[in-house]
Every structure is written in structure tokens, then in C-alpha cells.
Amino acid sequence: MEDIENNIEEDEFGFSRNYFLAKELGGTGKKSAHKLSDINVVDEQELRAAASNIEMKHEKEIAALMDEYKTMYPKWVFELRCGFGLLMYGFGSKKALIEDFASSSLTEYSVVVVNGYLPSVNLKQVLTTLAELLSDQLKSRRKSSSASSCKCQETFSSRSIDGLLSFLHGPQSDDKDCFVCVVIHNIDGPSLRDSESQQTLARLASCSHIRIIASIDHVNSPLLWDKKMVHTQFNWLWHHVPTFSPYKIEGIFFPLILSQGSSAQTAKTAAIVLQSLTPNAQNVFKILAEYQLSHPDEDGMATENLYTMARERFFVSSQVTLNSHLTEFKDHELIKIRRNSDGQDCLCIPLAPEALQQLLLDLSQ
């Protein structure tokens, strides 16, 4: 028994000694001096052009898969009429599939398409459009039916979000088939991922005259909703419909990983980030950008000078307010801190002059 224990201890000691010896020898090796920034990547436009010319494989199998999905169209219409929302998920773009379903099977209803993959979506404008369509639909149904078929209001007086949702949910008609279909491509898109947008969409889905057909592609999309939103408001019926189609349209607004973004693309990305911030934060960034363009030989703008100019123009009220804006800029990698020859910290925007000019033009529009 003692011999066995001694053998185990010797094996453990030998393993430990070999482990640390390997680590010691591995640390003496030469490390590569190459950097990720040294990689000569291709231009984004060239990469997109090359990607568009890639031939699709298994076309016959994919066409057969689409034909199988088309046989499910009557079932999907029945589910919508029963008050459910349709949520499509699976690998591949589902844009063509959903639009084919809407154009071929929802011809009796008004359909509104929301492209959630766009950098920005105006939900209030979407609600206004839906209210106008429902109002026109109610008027046409009343004219074609008996005079007493609809006793409730057919127009909406308030254009606030609450007023529009109230109109869409109101008892304007007893006809359960009187509803407007909303197609939302990528309901998990970047512009719709915030809590406020999802709460608004959930309230919209719970309206009696609204039916939603949506698609998701992000693996964590279900985390956007709580139990009430899934089962009560959206009332989802999940459909696994992998299409294996490329995300050609959805991917236009996102830079490719293997490409070197052009100055226009870089400015566009920065503009999208800045437009999500407050107007005062945008104005502070403009001060820094204008200073950098007018002083190209300097390392950047001193924080004290930025605070003085922003305070004079009433964009900030204290140093704490400015620091909060600068923290947002740093988190989104819009600015960097450099130390000049005097040892003073300066703020600079890591963009080329032409990209910075384009960014200012985008913000002024």
C-alpha cells in the first residue's frame, strides 16, 4: 500500500516538474513582431463585389426547401387570424421568404414592412402609418357593409405613441378579420434592440387590429423579451425556417470583417453612433472635430480648452457633465487620449481629415 502511495506521489511530482519546465522553455522562445494592423486587407468595395459573384451551392435542395415552406402558407394565415404572432428563425436570410408569403397569402389585408436591419427606424412614423391604414380599412368596410356595422370612431385624434396605440387597440370593429399585418425583418436589429423599442413593439403586437410577422437572426434575441412579452403581448408562434440564403441586403450596413473600411464607411459608422447620443454630446464632439481640422499639426485638444469652449456655448454646465460625454466617446472608441510634448493630456479623434469632414456633414443634416 505504501509503495502505491509513493508511486502516485512520484508521478505527481514528475508531472508538476515537467509542466513548469515546459512553461520555462516556452517562455524563452522568440515572439513574433508582427501586428494585426500590419495585415494588408482588401478594400471593402472590392470584397463586396467578389462576395456577390460567389455562386450558391445546393440550389435544387434550397428550391425544394422553399417549396415546402410555401405549403405552410395557409397554416400561417390561419395562425394570424387566430391572433398569434409569427416569429421566423433559422440560418439564412428570411427576407425573401416572408415577403413572398405576404405578397401571395396576405392580399386581403394591408401590410406594412419594417426593415429592422436599417441603422435607424422611426417607430412613431410606423405607428402613424398603421393607424392611417386601419382608418382607411374601417371606412371602406363600413361603406361596403350595412350602415350600423361600425358604430365606433374610424379616425384617430392623437398622434402621440399612446394615442396611436390606443386607436390600434380600440374596439373599432367587431370583425376579427379587420387587422393590419406588420412584417418586421430582423426585429432583433441594432436599431430595435433597446428596451424602449421592444416595449413599444410588444404593445403594438398586443393591439387587437395588429398582427406581426417577424424574423430574428441573433443567437441571443430571445433575451430581449420577458415572459409577459413572449406569451401575452407578442404571443409568438416560433417557426424554424432555415433558408441558407446569404444576408446580402441585411449586411449592406455593416462593414465586412476582412475589409479595410473606407473613410466614407468609417464616417458613416461614427455618425450612427453619435446620432444615438444627446444633442449636447454631439455639439461637444463637433467642437473637438472642428478644432482638430483647424489645428492638424497639434497632438489634440486639451481637455481644459474643450471644457471652456463647451461651457461658453452652454453645451455643458460642469466638468462632471463633460466627463460623462467623454466617457461615452471613449466607450464607443470615438476619441483617444494622447500626451503632448508638454506632458498634457489631449483629446483626438482617430479619423482621417476627409473622414472627419464627412462626419461633420452627416451630423449637420
Whichever domain contains 221, its CATH number is 3.40.50
Asked whether residue 77 falls in the same domain as residue 218, the answer is yes
Nearest to 97 by CA among 65, 134, 129: 65
Quote the number of domains for the chain.
Answer: 2
Inside any domain, residue 300:
yes
- pLDDT of res. 61: 92
Q: To which residue does cell 370583425 refer?
A: 175
Asked whether residue 134 falls in the same domain as residue 185, the answer is yes
Report pLDDT digits (tens) over 56-108: 788 899 999 999 999 999 999 999 999 999 999 999 999 999 999 999 999 98
Asked whether residue 184 falls in the same domain as residue 323, the answer is no
Asked whether residue 176 falls in the same domain as residue 229, the answer is yes
Q: Which of 34-43, 57-66, 69-78, 205-214 has the highest mean pLDDT?
A: 69-78
**Number of C-beta neighbours around residue 250 at 10 A:** 20
Asked whether residue 202 falls in the same domain as residue 326, the answer is no
Helix or strand or coil: residue 352?
Answer: coil
Inside any domain, residue 35:
no
Please give the model's pTM, rounded to 2 decimal places: 0.59
Asked whether residue 220 falls in the same domain as residue 289, the answer is no
Q: Which of 208, 240, 272 is the last residue of a domain?
A: 240
**Rounded CA separation 63/47 (Å):** 27
Asked whether residue 219 falls in the same domain as residue 335, the answer is no
Residue 189's domain spans which residues? 59-144+151-240
Q: For residue 336, give the CATH number of its domain.
A: 1.10.10
Inside any domain, residue 195:
yes
Q: Which residues contact 234 (CB under 8 A, 6 or more apart)?
A: 85, 87, 201, 202, 205, 206, 212, 225
Report pLDDT digits (tens) over 141-186: 666 655 444 444 556 666 788 888 888 887 655 566 678 899 999 9
Asked whether residue 206 falls in the same domain as residue 324, the answer is no
Inside any domain, residue 1:
no
Q: To which residue does cell 358604430 refer?
A: 151
